[in-house]
Structure 1
Amino acid sequence: MANYTIQPRKTAKGDTRYRCLVRASDGRSESKTFGKHQIAKEWGILRCTAIENEAITEQHKTSTIFELLNLFYEDHDLWSNTGRTKRYVIQMLMDCDIAQVRTDQLKASDIIQHCKNRREAGAGPATIYHDVAYLRSVMKKAKAVWDIEANWQVFEEAVPVLIDMKLVGKSQKRTRRPTTDELNKLRKGLRQRMGNAHGGAIPFVDILDFSILTCMRIGEVCRITWRDLDEKNKTVIVRDRKDPRKKDGNHMVVPLLGDSFKIIKRQPKSDDRIFPYNEKSVTAGFQRVRNALGITDLHYHDLRREGASRLFEAGYSIEEVAQVTGHRNLNILWQVYTQLYPHKLHDKFKAV
């Protein structure tokens, strides 16, 4: 709150001047002298209004969504612990029209319009859902981290409508597995790449086969160390395995099945890591060979599904396969990482 008082004063020449003194509730004060009482009064009213508006602004600090996303980007503690997909989405959102909306004024209609714009640009429902989920996540942190008022509750109103309009949705279940012919072609192409200057010292074929046999992500393959290898039990500790609830400290002992132990043993001990290579360089080499061979719609991560599916086809239980893949949620393992070949059931029946 603020108030003002006007004090008349006589000058040396005998003229009357009017000093307006404005006091704020926080102890601040300011004054100004005028030749007319009415002008002093108007100034006092204006300054009281301005001070009260400033107090309201401080109490309810807001920003544009762009400014909020930029604060998130510049906060090391938050940004360094953010996944690659979320980083990409946040940076993309900063260039969208919705970024100009103020955080406390975001409406369901703004979110719906953003999703329509993204659909027109070619984004699918699962991709658009990431926009909504990650923007909501940042806005929920606004008050606690930066003392910024953000209307994140509006997402509760918008999401059901977005689902009804089919603007957002879950990603389609991926079922791609490489065929035997494709794997043979990939091994041949990768050997050729290893023999030229572009391939360098990366043992692409060993890493490809190791990825399938262990069901490890390529980041995990390139992170395992010699000190975590147990030669007696043929196991290796995979540290900080990806998990929706907890990654740091999520270490698992993984069995080295099939020839995966032999693959490790023939690697040179030139580094603390068994496969001391940049995971991006490995996947880039894989992608170039894959593209040159004309193999379509095959991702490096599909090798993880191939490995899990092979274990199921070999008769391993879902709990045993989870010990290899690292899944805590067995439903996710079965639904996402398993694509069994029906004709393989004949081989299993013969074995029985």
Structure 2
Amino acid sequence: MASFTLEKRKTSKGVLRYRCVVRLKKGNDVVYRESRTFGKKADAKAWGTALVSKLETHGLPGKNPEVTVRELLIMYLNEPYIAKSIGRSKRYGLNMLIDTELAKIQANKLTVANLVQHCKDRNDAGTSPQTVSGDISYLRSVLRAAKPIFGIDVNDSVVQEAYYTLYQHNLIAKSNRRSRRPDTSELNRIKVELRKRQEHHAAHIPFLDILDFSILSCMRIGEVCKILWEDVDEGTRAVKVRDRKDPRKKEGNHMWVPLLGEAWEILNRQPKSCDRIFPYNSKSVSAGFQRVRSSLGIQDLRYHDLRREGASRLFEQGFSIEEVAQVTGHRNLNTLWQIYTELFPNRVHEKFNSLQRLKQMDQEL
């Protein structure tokens, strides 16, 4: 039987630490013992609970237990060091997979046919191929972690083999590329209503400044609400954006972002009453925007579309893709290239018309 105990300890510097000791007994003999120390009691307890569950389900490490996809999913979700990096959408998707027929299959006996059937069932239930694609992607990440993290000899080759068939039959698909930008009228109407909202006696969020700053800086709203005064560089008029989103690197991806035009002025007029420049909950900011948008009857406009609006404006002003990437933080230029190519036909027409006007002026002279 497996169990764990928690021990409270202090370091030589007086810092409180929590040691979790996990034991597996056979009769009166301890046949397995492992311990780990944490700074938080909750982390120690979570690790102990996960390891006890793993030992109870799969026995001693070193063996290759026959686990179902469901068991593997639960182990993945309960592993403390994995759990910290799982986003909200992925967590929701993994929990959904736990209750599917696919989860009942032994993990090392998954076949392409099993994955095809899962995708068919999801499509028949009205789920879009784009969403089903998320199922397969999330499952693949779990299978890839099985051997190095849990010592279970499972790999993701079955998913790799299935991709061609799934795409070929439109059972999964890439997400639709958004190109939505607010027009001038929509932005003006939204600003009028946001001004009313921020002027309410109980309001404290400067919605207008945050909206304009979001467009001008091309930052995500989560990034806007995290930037610190200590990360502002007066000399270069730039700010360090910490842990910028990057699919290849979740943490430590810091980047200096130049604040162009009015963005610098907006930043400097914020009160220095907190370590953060915009010390507000990003969800409250986007929720306020969404309420105003909905009340105005503006369709299919998300706060994140303001980031695309900012990038589009930079392209329209003549900045190169590499220069725009310095502002937006894109490591892969494909996304920016898509925005640029959407704008490019209009820019070609504008340049042609401009050249025609110059030619006509020369002829008149």
The TM-score with structure 2 as length reference comes to 0.76
Q: Secondary structure at the match of 2:343?
A: coil
Q: Secondary structure at the match of 2:121?
A: helix
1:188 corresponds in structure 2 to 192
Q: Secondary structure at the match of 1:236?
A: strand
- Mapped contact 1:216–1:304 kept (Cα < 8 A): yes
- Shift in Å, 1:66: 1.5
Equivalent pairs, count = 298
- Mapped contact 1:234–1:261 kept (Cα < 8 A): yes
Letter in 1 for 2:126: G
For the pair 1:138 / 2:126, whether they are aligned, the reply is no
1:275 corresponds in structure 2 to 278
Letter in 2 for 1:302: D
Identity %: 55
Letter in 2 for 1:288: R
Where do 5+ consecutive residues of structure 2 fail to align? 1-57, 359-365
CA distance in 2, matches of 1:151, 1:73: 18
CA distance in 2, matches of 1:180, 1:316: 21
CA distance in 1, matches of 2:100, 2:201: 42
For the pair 1:293 / 2:296, whether they are aligned, the reply is yes
Q: Secondary structure at the match of 1:285?
A: helix
CA distance in 2, matches of 1:169, 1:109: 18
- Mapped contact 2:62–2:151 kept (Cα < 8 A): no
1:209 corresponds in structure 2 to 212
- Shift in Å, 1:173: 1.6
Q: Secondary structure at the match of 1:296?
A: coil
Of 82, 85, 101, which residue of structure 2 is paired with 1:81? Answer: 85
For the pair 1:257 / 2:238, whether they are aligned, the reply is no
2:160 corresponds in structure 1 to 156
Of 177, 183, 191, which residue of structure 1 is paired with 2:181? Answer: 177
From the superposition, tell whether residues 277 and 235 of structure 1 become closer, same or farther in structure 2 (CA, over 3 Å): same
CA distance in 2, matches of 1:251, 1:151: 33
Structure with the greater alpha carbon radius of gyration:
1
- Shift in Å, 1:289: 0.9
For the pair 1:315 / 2:318, whether they are aligned, the reply is yes
Cα distance per residue 1:117-136 (max 9 Å; x no partner) = 11122222222111101101
Q: Secondary structure at the match of 1:281?
A: helix
The TM-score with structure 1 as length reference comes to 0.78
1:228 corresponds in structure 2 to 231
For the pair 1:95 / 2:99, whether they are aligned, the reply is yes
- Shift in Å, 1:95: 2.1
Q: Secondary structure at the match of 1:297?
A: coil
Letter in 2 for 1:155: V
- Shift in Å, 1:146: 1.6
CA distance in 2, matches of 1:255, 1:347: 28
For the pair 1:302 / 2:305, whether they are aligned, the reply is yes
Q: Secondary structure at the match of 1:59?
A: coil
Of 170, 181, 203, which residue of structure 2 is paired with 1:166? Answer: 170
Letter in 2 for 1:166: N
CA distance in 2, matches of 1:80, 1:197: 39
Letter in 1 for 2:297: G
- Shift in Å, 1:336: 5.0
CA distance in 2, matches of 1:150, 1:97: 19
After superposition, the CA RMSD in angstroms is 2.5
Of 60, 66, 71, which residue of structure 2 is paired with 1:62? Answer: 66
Cα distance per residue 1:35-73 (max 9 Å; x no partner) = xxxxxxxxxxxxxxxxxxx99x97330222111111111
